[in-house]
Structures are given as C-alpha cells and as structure tokens.
Structure 1
Amino acid sequence: MSRIVHLNGEYLPEDQAKVSVFDRGFVMADAVYEVTSVLDGKLIDFPGHMARLARSLGELGIQNPHSDDEWLAIHREMVARNEITHGMVYLQVSRGNGGDRDFVYPPADTPPTVVLYTWQKPQLIDNPAAETGWKVCTLPDIRWHRRDIKTVQLLYPSMAKMEAKARGCDDAWLVENGLVTEGTSNNAYIVKGGAIITRALSNDILHGITRAAVLRFAREAQMTVEERSFTVEEAIAADEAFITSASAFVMPVVEIDGVRLGDGAPGKVSRRLREIYLEESRAAAI
C-alpha cells in the first residue's frame, strides 16, 4: 500500500507528491524539520517538538504555517491514514519556492513548503540494540555553529555516521576542542560515580526534546545530573554512557574508540532511564 504524504494541505499518495526544483529546501537546504515518534498510535513529546519547530523557524525567519493545534490535527491524520502503531512522523518546512537560485531570501510573503510523511518502525520499543548497546567512535566536529537550529543540513553528520559504520561502530560522537559535542543524530551522555553528565545547552548542540524529557525524569528520580562539557578521555574512563534521540529513546553505549566501558554491557543507569522514559512518555502521549 502506498504511503499517504501531506504536501501543502493535501493528502496524496507518495508517488503523486511533488516539490518544485526551485524550492529553497532543495537548492539551499533552507529548511527545518522535526521527527516525532509514535507509540501505540499516539505521538510522543509532541508539545516539545512543536516548540522547537517554532524556535527553528523563528531563527531562520520562516513563517510558521500552522498553529500547534493545526499541526496536531495533521499529525494525527497522518498516523491514522498510514495506520501507524509504532513508527515515526517526519515534518519539514522550507522557505518555499524562491524562483531563480539566489542567496538572497525570496519575499517574506513567499508561502513555505510543508511536507509530512510517516514510516513504520515495529522495533521502536523492543529494539535489540538496547540489550547489547552501541559502539561509538569519535570524529572531528566541523559543522557550522548554529547546531541548535534543526535544519536539513545533514551531509556531514551522514558522512560521520558512514565513517563510523566503516569502522564497525554504530555511531560517531563529534569532538570539538577536545570536548564531545553530540552524536551524529543524538545527544551524548556519560555516567561517572552515579552522576549523569551531558553538555549544557548552547548553539553548539541540538536542544534535544528527548534530552529534556530524560533529564527531567532523571531529576525526578533523584539522580544527579551535571550539564557540562566532557572530554573524550573522561568518556573512555566513564562507568557507562548512552545517547538519547526521538527514534532511539535512551540507547546504552558500551564502547568508545575501541575501549569497553565497565563490563561491556549496558549500564544500570541507562537501562533504568530507558524504562522510565518509555513508561512516562507512553502515559503522556497524545
């Protein structure tokens, strides 16, 4: 069955959804996106994703084409039409059709281009990788310095992930001035002496929606949280490590640059946080 795609207010079979070759998202990566998880047919952390979408659009001066209620209705319609039980909803908003290619933005009243599509992900909850943990390697972070804006400029993260795969790893942690910034598509954490350590929010990392929820749950569970930068050396010497993202939730990390952490198995803190996150998020899903 062909997926149904939302394009500028219309629900279309995926093979009928077409975007102009002049669209700024296509020629300039002048677009932002969000990916929302679906569990049991309901949306996870939806208000957070909408808040970040509004922030990203505002930072780029792109008009937000819908209210939060309208976005919610569209997302629910996409979930229903595509019969998503466990899966993802991808949303992208570009600056729209800019006409002839130009570095100067088109007029402010240019309608943005809105695209949504979904995909099924049956193992979203029972992910085998959560039982074994990820292996990560470190690579230089050479991205631009507005990583807090969730743009579609994802070429270097893709290159880094491919390099990690070539090294036999699951992902890469990016490093700048000796300090870990984040993963290619996730936030990075280490655990030392029971304390959860992750880089503080700034323009240098994406303000993860799952990150915010996990840190809130950790504090509610009386866990110690330190929002500060950490070195690769600290990470390798940590008791355990993990990442968070909308698609992986809380994923243990068991090896960094070939060095096994602890006993090489997912740590108790990351495993507990994954349990808490899934329980709390499913209860609050809409």
Structure 2
Amino acid sequence: MHTPNLIAYLNGQFAPLNELKIPVLDRGFLFGDGVYEMIPVYSRCVFRLDEHLQRLARSLAAVGIANPHELAVWRQIVLQLVAQQDFADQSVYLQITRGVAYPRNHAFPSTDTAPTVFAFSDPLEMPAAALCAQGVAAVTTRDIRWLRCDIKAISLLANVLAKQQAVEAGAAEAIMLRDGRQGEEALMIEGAASNIFIVKNGVIYAPQTSELMLAGITYELVIELAEQHQLALVLGEVSEAMLRDADEVWLTSSSKEILPIVELDGLPVGNGKPGPIYQQMLSIYQTYKATVMRRGED
C-alpha cells in the first residue's frame, strides 16, 4: 500500500505516516473500541477546533475512555500536525482507542491501560463545482446501527455497508431510515457519512439532534446560517414520506460541504435540479467560508 508523504502523530511522537505501527492487541483493532473526530482546515485555519475537541471529549466520556489530554494539549497537537503538512486545506483525523491489553476480553482492561492516540491529516478536497451545479444521487436504506449514534465511535461497519450500497447503485450517499415505534412511519435519520436536510414549500426541515444521529459541525453551521439569514427552518422528526415528497434534499458534511441530492432511489427530487433554497444556502455558506473560515475567525 502506498501512502503519501504525510507527517502523522502516535502516542506523543510525530513521524511519517508509513512508519507508524500499532500493536495487534490494540482494542481498536480487536473490538472497534474507540472514538474519532474529523476536523476541517481551510488555508491552515482550523475550523471550530474547540467545538470538535469538546465533541471528542463527549464521545470519550460516553464510552468510558479517560481523555488522555487537556484541551490546551489537544490544541497544540492539532496545530503542530497542521503546520507540518505541505498543503493548506486539510482534514485532520483524530482517533483514540482504549489501548493495548491482554488477554482479549470484552470487559474493560485494568485502569492503568494507556489509551492509544493517533492523528494524521489528509488534503481536504472540496466538492467539484459541477456537483453543486448538477447535484448527486442517493439511495435509502434501513438504519441497522445501534442506539448511540451520537457517539463518534470507530466501529462503523453499518455505515460502511450503507455507503457500499450507495456506491453499487451509482449514488453518492445512502440515507438511513429508522423504523418507527409500534408500526409508526419510518423516520429519516442521516446519511452514511453526512447529515440530511430537506426543503418543502420554501421551508428547510432537518432532524432534531438525538442519540440516534451524529450532529455534524457542518450541520450545526448550516442551521446557524439559516437562522442568521432568516430562512424558514424547522427542527424535528422528518418522516420517510416527507423525504420522498420534498422539493429539495441536501447532504452536509465537512468534506462534502453542502451538496444537492437531485435523485432518490432512481426518482427525481422535485424537478430533478438543485433548488432555489439550496442555491441561496450555498451562496451564504461559500461567503462565510471565504470571509470567516479561511481567516480563522470562528
């Protein structure tokens, strides 16, 4: 496997990514026992670093892994990692596992087991202008994940399978539908690697944050921008019927930013083209990125 000439971080040391090694008895490898965080960087300005680190801390606390660093130390690690790359726009990946332990046992190891801390940074590739102009396709799939999707856990097999379903269908994303309670209609939750917004009659709808979904930083930013610009917005349950009857559907994530979904399960969304509310939000977002995110002012 060829890896780019990237500088990465492992347990206190910076080194070339292809030189780093983690023991096979690491619980992240054996159990998927760990959490992660993704942080976008624009023109070497880390976007909302403290918010990402606070979300990381919540994930660690939720799974009972002691946070290995104070906020100031985390900030130093991330900023040093960003400074050592040859490219300005980056996607920083942080991963903390429960550490290396023997024998293999589902129960937590002794409290003196040190967490494994790993980080690297990839080039952040923004979506091509053609995707924003033409839109992408998506498929729907049953949400088979556990009940704590708000934890950014590294055990992502269900997401991997959903994403592969989309790939095999020639689509960009799989939108997860979770069965309703006691025969109630299924609800739209999120994408395999994104959050989902819909628009109907000029109103933006998005699922309210809950333990069943991971609220992305871009999801939160889109909500903030919609409120700042007085766009009609409703947060709450979004049913499968609402999704299929929407005039517009968008996906949001740090790497995809905001993309219009113009085809769902082989059928057009609205008129099959990016809608006017999407165009307005995209303009707002790009202005914010140029004037705030790339200047490190937020």
TM-score (norm 2): 0.91
Quote the residue 2:21 is aligned against. 18
- Aligned-residue RMSD, C-alpha: 1.6
Matched, 1:102 2:105: yes
Q: In the alignment, does 2:172 pair up with 1:170? A: yes
Residue 224 (structure 1) shift: 1.6
Stretches of structure 1 that go unaligned for 5 or more consecutive residues are none
Which residue of 189, 197, 205 maps to 1:189? 197
Could you list the per-position Cα deviations for residues 62-112 of structure 1 after superposition, in whole angstroms to 9, with x for gaps in the alignment? 111122222222112111211231221111011111222101101223211
- Which residue does 1:132 correspond to in 2? 134
The equivalent position to 1:148 in structure 2, one of 150, 169, 189, is: 150
Contact 1:235/1:256 (<8 A) preserved: no
TM superposition outliers: structure 1 runs of 4+ over 3 Å: 125-128
Letter of the 1:276 partner, please give it: I
2: CA distance between counterparts of 1:18 and 1:257? Answer: 42
Aligned to 1:201: 209
Q: CA deviation at 1:276?
A: 2.3
Letter in 2 for 1:130: C
- Contact residue 138 and residue 261 of structure 2 kept, 8 A: yes
Structure 2 equivalent of residue 219 of structure 1:
227
Query: Is 1:8 aligned to residue 11 of structure 2?
Result: yes
Structure 2: unaligned runs, 5 residues or longer: 180-185
TM-superposed deviation, 1:280: 2.5
Contact 1:200 1:227 in 2 (8 A): yes
Q: Which residue of 1 aligns with 2:42?
A: 39
Question: In the alignment, which residue of structure 1 is the partner of 2:96?
Answer: 93
Q: State the alpha-carbon separation in 1 of the partners of residues 112 and 226 from structure 2.
A: 44
Q: Say if 2:190 and 2:213, in contact at 8 Å, map to a contact too.
A: yes
The 8 Å contact of residues 93 and 112 in structure 1, kept in 2 or not, is answered as yes
1:55 maps to 2:58: yes
Say whether the 8 Å CA contact 1:236–1:259 is kept in structure 2.
no
Q: Which residue matches 2:240?
A: 232
Contact 1:7 1:17 in 2 (8 A): yes
Instruction: For residue 281 of structure 1, report the CA deviation from its aligned partner.
Output: 4.2
Paired with 1:76 and 1:168, the residues of 2 have a C-alpha distance of 37
The more displaced of 25-34 and 44-53 is 44-53
Shift of 1:215: 0.3
CA contact (8 A) 1:172 1:184 kept: yes
Secondary structure at 1:124 match in 2: coil
Report if aligned partners of 2:26, 2:100 keep a CA contact under 8 Å in 1.
yes
Displacement of 1:220: 0.8
The one-letter code sitting in structure 2 at the alignment partner of 1:70 is V
SS in 1 for 2:188: strand
